[in-house]
Structure 1
Amino acid sequence: MQKILLVAGAALILACGKIKDVYVDNSIKYNIDWTAAADSSSSSFVNVYWNSTKHHFNNDNFGTVNQFDYWPEAHGLDVLVDAYKRTGSTMYKDRISAFYEGVKAKNGGRFYNNYYDDMGWHGMAHLRAFEATGDARYETSARELWQWIAAGWNDFDGGGIPWNHENTDAGRSKGIPSNGPAAIIAARRWQKYGAAEIVNGLNNLQWLERIYNWMKEHRVVQQSGRVFEKLSDPKGDWTYNAGTYMGAALEYYYITGNKVYLNDAIKTADWATSTLINSNNKVLSDWAEQQDHDVNLFKGIFVRYLTLLIKNKDLPESNRKRYVYFLRNSAQILWTAGAVKSPVVLFGYHWWQAPTESKVALRTQISACTLMESLALLKSEGYVE
């Protein structure tokens, strides 16, 4: 493993002095094999970032371990699940299995965390891992995580689940990061377990209604679909917030068939794909992307839920084509201009610029791999030519 890390770093060092911002002419038709791109991206992700001794992900391609990097681990698990569902490879299944005890140990022997949003990412990923592999440990942890998250709801500022459980400003601070994942969990658990599961006196459909309505009333501009943290500050508009609100709306639509929720998802998708972008090349982008930063993972979360929206059978075809074009544009620019592909695949945090430093952070790699897996999935199901 160490040899792979050093070779990858050396290759980047050699390349970095020549790299500029590169823009791809999207009028050119690129003949990209998305399945092969996903294969090489996800296998490189495992080979370079997986800690084969401690069974969790390292923080970068040089083997750094950040003890408090809890929430990106959940998205790394999501990529493993994506790749396993696509390939059926035991390489991914074995790591999904090992992840459970490895990340649990890294987090102090349990999956409980001080931050409700961080537990939300794990709650979603663990349920997906259980459904993909049948590993009953993940069913148990997904249930425990959801119980801890639901316990965070309070009536301060009209309701909602706060950022963390402390009785401080942070403990009273509420937004989409903690409520979007919680709404998706409630919806998926309702679809899976029905009325049999009661948490803090409510069934999961009641939790979905409560959380979704709070988000829609407190963090969404109804006319435009804009999802915000602060109404007066567009620099608080993040791709992952738009993504999880879209995801919650879509799950609500699956359950109820009420077009109001599908239209909520569409409105936010239209707003995000026209606003949260690089104006030069129309690639998905958050304004604060930088070396080894939380924000670099946000785009991959948005991609996950836009992909689900594309696959919804009731989505108008005009919207579907536009969203497919948007994702394909971001992916082909990432693959042709934003990646170093030898000796392993490593990505830049701006999707139009290959890595400019020898270290590539975990968050950056996860986000890009999520996009590659998305294109492979959409290709396999006939949405991408």
Structure 2
Amino acid sequence: MYKIEDYCEKLQDSLMEYFWDEKEGVFQNHYPLQEEENWIYWWHAHAIDCLLDGYLRTKDKKYLIRAEAEYNGVFIRNGNTFLHNWYDDMEWTALAILRFFDVTQDNKYKDQVLLLWEDIKTAWNEDLGGMGWKKDQRDYRNTPANAPAAILAYRLYQRFLKKEDLEWGDKILSWNLKNLTDPETGFIWDGLNRLGDGKIDYEWKYTYNQGVVIGALLERYEIQKENADLELAVKIAEVTKGEFTAACNGIFPYEGVDDCGLFKGIYIRYLNLLAEKSEEHSEIKKTIQQNASCLIERGINKNGLAGGHWDAQEEKCVDLAQHLSGIMLLEMAYRLS
């Protein structure tokens, strides 16, 4: 019988061996390295998150050293700032850095989070409601720009007790639930007004949208203890499993190239928080453990890398995004074990 922590360690070590660029001081996007590599800022927030997962599992300071190196490298590579054009990208970064503060209690991380938060709040669309996707397209409001912002607001409130942050969390989450949630099934839609026509992208179905709304509901539940939030989170998890895994024997499928490689890992991160809430959620735990077992048994290649499919090995090119999702899956399954 395998030990899941051994595979967590295997994927964490492969992350450093095959993606870390010592010269650039950051992770590269692909292995093998491509001739032209774009800077994809938001992937690095999840790299920091994964390294913090490794530290929380082992208490080995090597993970903090790696995370600090990535943190510094991203800051420099992004122009000596964490501020960015894309609001959702800054939200992922703020959430990761806030976890870094939680682990270390170093106020330099807190200061960066608060700086990001002040900029993120400018995403709110006063005329239409909701958080805009990016600074040059504020009228396109989507779940990836809203639910993570609500999570951040609620977490800031829980740590620093600033009432304004609680109000922001309630305002943002309420907008997301009212405008981008199927009232019958609880399924979370991606966004609206992308093309300036006021329409919702019903055909855009992604796991991470479900995950971040679950995450926001759980943070509000921690504060307000309303069972309705927990019940809706469970409903979203149930419809997500049916929507994405019914044809795949319970395994979350490959969602697409590039950014899509991160989506199911993010979903699992927040699904795990729901699974940890109660022993009553045994089916949710089983879903995570089933996917982790599948990845371990079928999806890790000879280099210890996880590709876009959790049920098949990728022998050609593995994206950093894909491998990070694999790490998130195994680290979350370890927490449940």
**Structure 1 regions of 5+ residues with no counterpart?**
1-30, 196-201, 380-385
Identical-residue share of aligned pairs (%): 30
Could you say if the C-alpha distance between residues 60 and 278 of structure 1 is closer, same or farther in structure 2, counting changes exceeding 3 Å?
Answer: farther
The CA distance in 1 between the partners of 2:45 and 2:201, in whole Å, is: 29
Number of residue pairs aligned between Structure 1 and Structure 2: 329
The CA distance in 1 between the partners of 2:265 and 2:217, in whole Å, is: 18
Select 1:361's aligned residue among 278, 302, 319. 319
CA contact (8 A) 1:156 1:172 kept: no
SS in 1 for 2:158: helix
Select 2:7's aligned residue among 27, 30, 37. 37
Does residue 1:322 correspond to 2:289, yes or no?
no
Superposition CA RMSD, Å: 1.7
The CA distance in 1 between the partners of 2:112 and 2:333, in whole Å, is: 30
Match of 1:198 in 2: none
CA contact (8 A) 2:48 2:71 kept: no
CA contact (8 A) 1:32 1:332 kept: no
For residues 75-86 of structure 1, what are the structure 2 equivalents within 5 Å?
Answer: 75-86=46-57
For residues 1-385 of structure 1, what are the structure 2 equivalents within 5 Å?
Answer: 31-64=1-34, 66-157=37-128, 159-166=129-136, 170-195=137-162, 203-229=164-190, 234-277=202-245, 279-285=247-253, 288-290=255-257, 293-312=258-277, 315=278, 317=280, 320-340=281-301, 342=302, 344-357=303-316, 359-379=317-337
Return the letter of the residue paired with 2:333. L
Return the letter of the residue paired with 1:369. I
SS in 1 for 2:141: coil
Could you say if the C-alpha distance between residues 58 and 284 of structure 1 is closer, same or farther in structure 2, counting changes exceeding 3 Å?
Answer: same
CA contact (8 A) 1:278 1:284 kept: no
SS in 1 for 2:30: coil
SS in 1 for 2:37: coil
| C-alpha deviation, 1:235, in angstroms | 3.2
The 4+ residue runs of structure 1 with deviation greater than 6 A are none
For 1:122-159, what per-residue CA distance to the aligned partner results, in whole angstroms no more than 9, with x for missing partners? 010000011112333211111111111111111233x0
Return the letter of the residue paired with 2:112. S
SS in 2 for 1:171: strand
Return the letter of the residue paired with 1:256. Q
Return the letter of the residue paired with 1:116. Y
The CA distance in 2 between the partners of 1:316 and 1:33, in whole Å, is: 22
For 1:266-304, what per-residue CA distance to the aligned partner results, in whole angstroms no more than 9, with x for missing partners? 111111112122613221135x424xx111110000000
| C-alpha deviation, 1:55, in angstroms | 2.1
Return the letter of the residue paired with 2:12. S
Could you say if the C-alpha distance between residues 234 and 33 of structure 1 is closer, same or farther in structure 2, counting changes exceeding 3 Å?
Answer: farther
Structure of greater Rg: 1
Answer with 109-118 or 38-47: which moved more.
38-47
CA contact (8 A) 1:278 1:285 kept: no
CA contact (8 A) 2:123 2:138 kept: no
CA contact (8 A) 1:81 1:129 kept: yes
